[in-house]
Amino acid sequence: MSVNLQTPIDYLKGVGPNRADLLRSELGIHTYQDLINLFPNRYLDRTKYYKISELQRNNAEVQVIGTIVGFREVAQKRGKRLVADFKDDTGMMELVWFRGQKWIRDSINIGKPYVIFGKTNWFNGKFSMPHPELELQEEHEKNLRSAMQAIYPSTEKLSNKGITNRVVTKIMQQLFLETKGHFVETLSDSIKGELKLLSKSEALFNIHFPKHQDLLSRAQFRLKFEELFYIQLQLILKNLIHKSKIKGFVFDKVGNYFNTFYNEQLPFELTNAQKRVLKEIRSDLGSNAQMNRLLQGDVGSGKTIVAFMSMLMGLDNDFQCCLMAPTEILSVQHYNGLKKWCKTLDISISLLTGSTKTSDRRIIHENLENGNLQILIGTHALLEDKVKFKNLGLAIIDEQHRFGVKQRSKLWKKSPSQSSQREDAKIVLNRYRTARPSTYKLMKELQQENKKNSTEAERILWESLRGKKLDAKFRRQHIIDEFIVDFVNLEKNLVIEVDGGYHNLKEQQEIDEIRTLILKDLGFKVIRFSNEQVIADIDSVLNSIGQELKSLPSGEVGGAVPPHILVMTATPIPRTLAMSVYGDLDISVIDELPAGRKPIKTVHRYDNNRLKVFKFMKDEIAKGRQIYVVYPLIQESETMDYKDLMDGYESISREFPMPYYQISIVHGKMKAVDKDYEMQRFAEGKTNIMVATTVIEVGVNVPNASVMVIESAERFGLSQLHQLRGRVGRGAEQSYCILMTSHKLSNDSKTRLETMVRSSDGFEIAEVDLKLRGPGDIMGTQQSGVLNLRIADIVKDKDILEQARYYAKSVLKLDPSLGLAKHKVILNTYRQMSKYRNIWNYIS
C-alpha cells in the first residue's frame, strides 16, 4: 500500500505536533507532499573523509572519522564553553560547544568512532571545530547516504528551536523509508523518452540524496521541466476552455466606420506589425468566443490607433466600446487623441473621470443606457455601479497591470443580460458542449472525479438537499463558466461551497475571494460553510440556506455576455514572463516603430558635467524645442544624497530665468486641476521646460519635446527609465535622453545605465531588468501565485520553460481532453492538481 502524500506532516515519525507547527508556520510544510517538494538550496560534497594531519588552515567544511577521548569545561568572559579532544590515527583536534553542553555530554559515547562535519578554525597552534555535526560511524553507514549533502531552506526560528539541517535531512530520510522511495509518475513515457528524463522516483531521490553531480543535474532538469510543464498545461487549457464557452459577441462584419477611416482618414501608413495585430484581433472578434488578448508594444509603437480601429469594428456591429486608463492624465490624452477622429466619422465619444461634473455624469449615464453614446473613455470611474451600457461589446484596458483582478472583472457585468430565457441558455450550453467537445469533456471528467471523492460533509449536505428538505432543486459538482461548484440552485442562482481545512490558508482564501467575486459577476450568490459546521449541525446549515433562498429573486440562467477584452501595456514583458504570467491570454506584439521615427540618442553624464548639459538644453530651446527634467523625489531626504524636485526646480529657475524662459512644475502631491493646467501649458508650447516627478511616465504626448533629462538616474528601474525616455522622440526631430548620476554607482546601476545607452529595444531592456530584479519585483504581488515556483527559475531556466511550453502545446494539440491512453498519467496528475491546488479559481 502506497503512502498518501496528502497525509499531514504531524504523522511522520520524528516530527510530532511541535515540530509540525513550526514546519507549517516557517516553511509552509503541511503534508508529506510539501516536504518532498522542499528542495535543497545547495549541496556540500561529502565524498571525502579527511585525516587530521591533512587539514588546511583555510576555514573549510570537512568531515573526519575519529573518537572523543575526553571533555573539559573552559571558563570564558560569559559562562563556560565545552571542549572535547577528538583524535584519529594521525593527530588530535578540539571540538567546541558554546551552548547545549549538558545534552552533548549526556548523549556522546567516549571512545566510540564518530563522523564529524563542520568548519575548521586554526587557534593556538591547533585545529578546532565549533558545534560540529556528529554521527556514530555505524549509524552514518546505515543511513541513506549521498555524496552531495543537501542544504535545505531554513529560518532563524527553526534553528533556534533545534530544527537544524541535520534534523530536516533525518525526517526526509524517514519519508523515503516510509514511501520506500516509490512515487507516482507524473509525465508520459513519450515525453520521458524524447527528453531522456529520469523517472519521478529517481529524480526525487537524487534531488535529496544525489549519488553524484551528473545525477543531481538530471534530477534538477526533470523536476524543473515537470513544474513548468504543468504551469503551461494549466494556462493553455484555461485558454482553450475560455474559448470553448461561446460567450462572446460575434463581430461578423467590417463596415462603414472601419472602412471610411482606413481608406480616407488614416493619418499615416500602418506598419506591418500593426496590420498583423489588427488581423489577430479581427479574427478573435468574429470567432464566437470572448476575446481575451494582451497587446504589447513599446512606447510610441502605435497601440492607440490599433485600439481605435478595434473599436470601429465594434461600432460597425452596433456595439458600444470603452477604454479605461489608470490615470486622469492618460485618459484625457486618449480622449483628446480620439476625439478628432470621432468628429470626422460622426461618432459620439465622452470622457468620464473623477473630475467629471455631476450634471455631465447624468448625461453620460443616460446616453450610455439608451445607446446614444458609442465610445466612453475614462479612469476607474467606469467601474462605478451607476455606469451601465446598453450593449458594451469591447472593453480596452490601458496599462492593465495597474488594475487589480477585482477591478478588471467589474467590466464583465456592464451590459444587461443577453440570455434572459431558459431556452436561450440551453442553446448556449449545447453550443458550449459541441463547439470544443474535448475541453468540455475534460471539465466533465473533473466533475465526475470530484463526485467520487466527495468529503463526509459534502455527502451529509447532499443527502439533505437531494431529499428536497428545502423544497428546492439543487445540483452538485455543477459546471458554471470555468468553475465546478459544490452545489447550486439554478432557479435562484445560489451557490453553496463546503470548505475543507486547506481553505484556512491565506493563499487559498485569496483564491476563494476571487472565485466568489467572479461567480457574483456571473449573477450567482455564493455562501460558504466549513466541513465542521456541516457535520456538527446540519439543521442550522439548512436553515441558513433556506433563509438565503427566500431572500433571492428567481435567477436568470445564462447571465450577461461579457464584452471582448483587449488589455494593452507599453511595458514590454520578457517572453519568459509572458509565457508564465500571461500564458492563458492570446498575446499580440507590435515590435516595429512607425516609419520616420529617429532613434533617441541616450547618453550618461555625471553631475560634474552639469554646465555642459545646461548649455545643450539652452541650444535646444533656441531651436524651438521643449525639455523634460525628471526627479525621483518630491522632498529632500536626509538619508539619501539625491537631487530632490524642489531644489532642482530652484537651480533650474536660476539657470533659466524669466522672462527668457518659462518653466512648468508637476508632481503627485499637486491637485489634479493644477497638474492638468501645468501639463496643458507645456503641451501647448507655453513653457519651455517641464520639471516633474515620474507622474509624466505615462502622461501627455508632446511631439515638440525633444530632450529628457533624468536626474539621479541610478534611482530608477530599467523599465521606468525606458518609459520616461519614451516621452520624447514623438516628433520628426532628433531627440535625446540624458541620464544624470553621481560617481557613486553600484554594479546593478552601472548595468542599467549601460543598457539604456546601448539599446532602445524595450524587449531587450525588459530581459535585462528581469535578470536584475527577478519576476516577483517586476510583476508585483498580484502575480505571486503564478510565480511561486518550488524549483524552477524562469530567468535562469528560460530554455527549459520554452521546452515545457512546446510539449504542453503539443500534447493538447494532439489530445485536448487528455483522453488517450498514453496521456492517462498526465490527466491523473492534472486532476490531483485541480483537486488540491484549485487551478480553476483564478482569472487573468
Q: Are 409 and 843 in contact (CB under 8 A)?
A: yes
Q: How is domain 47-145 classified at the architecture level of CATH?
A: Beta Barrel (2.40)
Positions in the chain short of pLDDT 70:
1-2, 143-147, 242-247, 400-413, 415-440, 481-482, 502, 507, 521, 553-560, 575-576, 579-584, 633-643, 695-700, 774-788, 834-844
Q: How is domain 256-285+302-416+562-569 classified at the architecture level of CATH?
A: 3-Layer(aba) Sandwich (3.40)
**Cα distance between residue 208 and residue 198, in whole Å:** 14
Please report the pLDDT score of residue 644 as a whole number. 72
Q: Is 794 helix (H, G, I), strand (E, B) or coil?
A: coil
**Cα distance between residue 367 and residue 351, in whole Å:** 12
Please report the pLDDT score of residue 146 as a whole number. 62
Among 523, 459, 537, smallest CA distance to 495 is for 523
Q: Is 589 helix (H, G, I), strand (E, B) or coil?
A: strand
**Cα distance between residue 297 and residue 762, in whole Å:** 9
CATH number assigned to the domain covering 601-759: 3.40.50.300
**Cα distance between residue 499 and residue 531, in whole Å:** 6
Grid cell for residue 178: 516510509
Please report the pLDDT score of residue 46 as a whole number. 75
Task: Classify strands 126-130 and 121-123 as parallel, antiparallel or unpaired.
Answer: antiparallel
Q: Are 596 and 249 in contact (CB under 8 A)?
A: no
Q: Which residue has the cell 447624468?
A: 362
Please report the pLDDT score of residue 700 as a whole number. 62
Contacts 24+ apart (CB under 8 A), 70-78: 70/110, 71/105, 71/110, 73/101
What pLDDT digit, counting tens, does each position of 257-290 carry? Answer: 999 999 998 888 899 999 999 999 999 998 878 8
Grid cell for residue 795: 530567468
Do 454-551 and 601-759 agree at the fold level? no
Residue ranges covered by each domain of the chain: 47-145, 256-285+302-416+562-569, 454-551, 601-759
Give me the torsion for CA of 217, 222, 227, 231, rounded to 10°: 120
Q: Are 352 and 366 in contact (CB under 8 A)?
A: no
Among 471, 477, 528, 530, smallest CA distance to 501 is for 530
Q: Which helix (H) or strand (E) holds 498?
A: strand 494-499
Pick the CATH number of 454-551 from 3.40.50.2300, 3.90.1150.10, 3.40.50.970, 3.40.960.10: 3.40.960.10
Grid cell for residue 195: 527528453
Contacts 24+ apart (CB under 8 A), 773-781: 773/717, 775/577, 775/580, 775/581, 778/577, 778/719, 779/401, 779/577, 779/581, 780/401
Compute how many other C-beta atoms are within 10 angstroms of the C-beta atom of residue 813: 9
**Cα distance between residue 36 and residue 24, in whole Å:** 14
State phi, psi for 708 to the nearest 5 degrees.
Answer: -120, 115
C-alpha 258, offset from chain centre: 36
Q: Are 574 and 766 in contact (CB under 8 A)?
A: yes
> DSSP label at 389?
-
Grid cell for residue 372: 446614444
Q: What is the largest CA-CA distance in the chain?
A: 98
Grid cell for residue 612: 555642459
Vertex 673, ends 668 and 678: CA angle to 5°?
75
The contacts of residue 569 (CB under 8 Å, 6+ apart) are 294, 295, 296, 297, 398, 399, 400, 401
What pLDDT digit, counting tens, does each position of 656-684 carry? Answer: 999 899 999 888 778 878 887 888 889 88
